[in-house]
Amino acid sequence: MRDNPVLRVVTKITIPIILLFSLYVQFHGDYGPGGGFQAGVIFAAAFILYALVFGTQAVRIVVSPSILRLLTASGLLLFAGVGTVTMLLGGHYLDYDTLAQNPLLGQHLGIFLVELGVGITVAAVMITVFLAFAGRRD
Amino acid sequence: MDMFALYNYWVVIFLMMTGFYVVIASGNLVKKIIGLNLFQASVFILYISMGKVSGGAAPILRETVQTYSNPLPHVLILTAIVVGVATTALGLALVVRIKEAYGTTEEDEIHSQDESL
Amino acid sequence: MNELINIVLLGLLVITALAAIRLHDLFAVTIMFGIYSLLAAAVFVVLDAVDVAFTEAAVGVGISTILMLATIGLVGRQEKPPAHRSLLPLVVVAVTGAALIYGTFDMPHFAAPDAPIQQHVAPRYLEQSPSEIGIPNVVTAVLASYRGYDTLGELTVIFTAGIGVLALLGLRRRRSRLADSPEEEP
C-alpha cells in the first residue's frame, strides 16, 4: 500500500492529528467523556494505521519491541506505584487524599497519574498485539 | 402496557441468544470467537439499558442538569469491554497457533486428528 | 423520537446479528461484527452512556475487528458449511432465551427512576463526588478513585493478555515458518 500516493499522503497528514486527539482524550477525561482506555486505544490506532500503509518493518523502526516491553510494564508500575506511595504517606492503598495538602488536589493528582498509567499500558499492549499478529507471516 | 415496557430487554436477550448460537453451533474456531464477541456486546447493551433513567442525562456534572443516569453500570461495562478485547486477542493468538499445529481451524477435523494419534 | 431511534437501532442490530449467523465467508462475518459494534456504540449514546460508547467504538470497531482480520489473513477466510443439523443448539438457545425472558418479568420497567438500582450507591456517588473528588466526569471519578482497585485489576488483565500474546506469537521476525521453531522469544 505504500505505492499508493493518496494513501501515503493522507496517512502522513492524519497520523499527527490522531496522536493529538488521543492526548486530548487522555487529559480531558476528567471534564468530558474519555480517559486512559480510550486514549490508549486511539494512540495505538495511529501506529496501526502507519503499519497498515507503510508495513510492519517501518513501525518497528519507530517503536522497537524493547521499548514496547518497557512501556507495557511501566504503565502498570505507575498505577501500582501510586498506591504504594499513598500507603507510605500514611493512608490506605490508593487513597489519593494523602498525595497533596488539599484532599481535592490530591485526588486530581492521583487520578491524573493513574489514568496516565492506564493509557501507557493499553497503548503499548495494543501495538504489541497487532505487531505480533501482523508480523507473523514475514 | 406492562409487557411493552420490557420489550427493550427482550430484543437484547434475542441478540444475546444469536451470539450464543454462533458460539455453540459453528465448527470454525474464528467464528466461535466472533460469536463470543457478539454475545459480549449484547450483554453490555443489557447492562447499560438497566442503568438508564428516563429524563436523565449523561453522568457528567454540570449546572443545567437535575437527574443523571446511573454511572455505576457504565464503569462496570467499561472494564468489561477492555477485558473482552484482551480475551479476544489471546483467543485469536491461540487459534493462529492451532492452525499452525493442526493445519485447520475446523473443530471436527481437530478432534479427528487428536483421536487418530 | 427517542423511542423511534431506539427501535431502528435495535432492528438494525438484529439484522446484523442474523446476517453474521448465516454468512460463511469469515471476512463478511468480521465486517458484520464491526457494524454490530458501531450500532451498539450508537445505542449506548442513546442510553446516555457516552464514555462506554466511546470505548466500544474505539475498542470494538477498531481493535477487535483489526485483530480478527489479521487472524483471518493468517488462517484462511472460508468456513466449512456445517455438516450436521443444528437442532440441539437451537433447542439449547431457545430454552436459555425463554429462561432469561421469564427472569425479566421481575425487573422494573425500562428507565424507571424508582428502580432499586438507582437507590443506594449511585445517588451517593453523584452527590458526594463534587466535594470528595471535584471532577465533573463522574464515570472517571468512580473508575479511578472510588473503584480504583477494579481498574488496577483490569490493567493487570490487559498486561497479562499482552504477555500471553507475546508468549504465543512473539515479536521476533522469523525467516521461515517451516521449522516452527523453539525460538519463540518475545
Q: Are A44 and B85 in contact (CB under 8 A)?
A: no
Name residues 154-183 of chain C within 8 A of A (Cβ).
Answer: 155-156, 158-159, 161-163, 165-166, 168-174, 177
Give me the number of domains chain C comprises: 1
Using CA atoms, how far apart are residues A89 and A4, in angstroms rounded to an integer?
57
Q: What is the pLDDT of residues C59-78, one digit of tens each?
A: 999 999 999 999 999 998 88
Percentage above 90 pLDDT, chain C: 55
Interface probe, candidates B3, B22, B30, chain C, greatest C C-beta count within 10 A: B30
Residue C114: pLDDT band (50, 70, 90) is: confident
What is the overall mean pLDDT for chain B?
89
Percentage above 70 pLDDT, chain C: 93
* Listed residue (A80, A25, B84) closest to C158, CA to CA: B84
- What pLDDT is recorded for position C180? 47
For position B106, which CATH number holds? 1.10.287.3510
Residue C65 domain boundaries: 1-78
For A43, the grid coordinates are 494512540
Q: Is B62 within a domain?
A: no
Q: What is the mean pLDDT of residues B37-54?
A: 91
Q: Is B9 within a domain?
A: yes
- What pLDDT is recorded for position C128? 87
> Which chains lie within 8 Å of chain A at 3 or more CB pairs, if any?
B, C
Is the Cβ of A93 closer than 8 Å to some Cβ of chain B? no
Q: What is the mean pLDDT of residues B17-26?
A: 92
**More confident site: A96 or C174:** A96
- What pLDDT is recorded for position B68? 87
- What pLDDT is recorded for position B61? 87
Residue B14 has pLDDT above 50, yes or no: yes
* Whole-complex ipTM: 0.92
Residue B3 has pLDDT above 60, yes or no: no
Residue A123 domain boundaries: 5-137
Residue B34 domain boundaries: 4-52+70-115
Q: What is the mean pLDDT of residues C106-135?
A: 83
Least Cα separation, residue A81 to chain B (angstroms): 21
A3-35 burial, b at 16+ Cβ within 10 Å, e below that, comes to eeeeeeeebeeebeebeebbeebbbebbebbbb
> How would DSSP label each residue in B37-97?
HHHHHHHHHHHHHHH--TT-B-SB--TT-S-B--HHHHHHHHHHHHHHHHHHHHHHHHHHH
Q: What is the mean pLDDT of residues C175-179?
A: 49
Region at A60 (left for phi over 0; alpha for psi -120 to 50; beta for the rest): alpha
Query: C137: which chain A residues are within 8 Å (Cβ-Cβ)?
Result: 29-35
- What pLDDT is recorded for position C179? 45
Residue C117 has pLDDT above 90, yes or no: no
Residue C16 has pLDDT above 80, yes or no: yes
Residue C34: pLDDT band (50, 70, 90) is: very high
For position C73, which CATH number holds? 1.20.120.1200
Residue C119: pLDDT band (50, 70, 90) is: confident
Q: Is C156 within a domain?
A: no
Region at B37 (left for phi over 0; alpha for psi -120 to 50; beta for the rest): alpha
Q: Are C54 and A33 in contact (CB under 8 A)?
A: yes
- Indicate yes or no: CB of A133 within 8 angstroms of CB of C54: no
What stretch of H or E contains A35? Answer: none
Give me the number of domains chain A comprises: 1
Interface probe, candidates A129, A130, A133, chain B, greatest B C-beta count within 10 A: A129
Residue B1: pLDDT band (50, 70, 90) is: very low
Q: Is C16 within a domain?
A: yes
- What pLDDT is recorded for position C184? 43
Q: Is B60 within a domain?
A: no
Give me the number of domains chain B comprises: 1
Residue C183: pLDDT band (50, 70, 90) is: very low
How many other C-beta atoms are found inside a 10 Å radius of the C-beta of residue C163?
17
Residue C140: pLDDT band (50, 70, 90) is: very high
Least Cα separation, residue C137 to chain B (angstroms): 4
- Indicate yes or no: CB of B13 within 8 angstroms of CB of C89: no
Q: Are A116 and A26 in contact (CB under 8 A)?
A: yes
Q: What is the pLDDT of residues C142-165, one digit of tens each?
A: 999 999 999 999 999 999 999 999
Least Cα separation, residue C95 to chain A (angstroms): 37
- Indicate yes or no: CB of A133 within 8 angstroms of CB of B96: yes
For A121, the grid coordinates are 499500558
| Cell 478432534 belongs to residue | B111
Per-residue pLDDT of chain A (138 residues), as tens digits, is 778 899 999 999 999 999 999 999 999 988 989 999 999 999 999 999 999 999 989 999 999 999 999 999 999 999 999 999 999 988 888 888 888 888 889 999 999 999 999 999 999 999 999 999 998 875
Least Cα separation, residue B2 to chain A (angstroms): 35
Residue C28 has pLDDT above 50, yes or no: yes
Nearest CA in chain B to A132: B93
Is the Cβ of A132 closer than 8 Å to some Cβ of chain C? yes
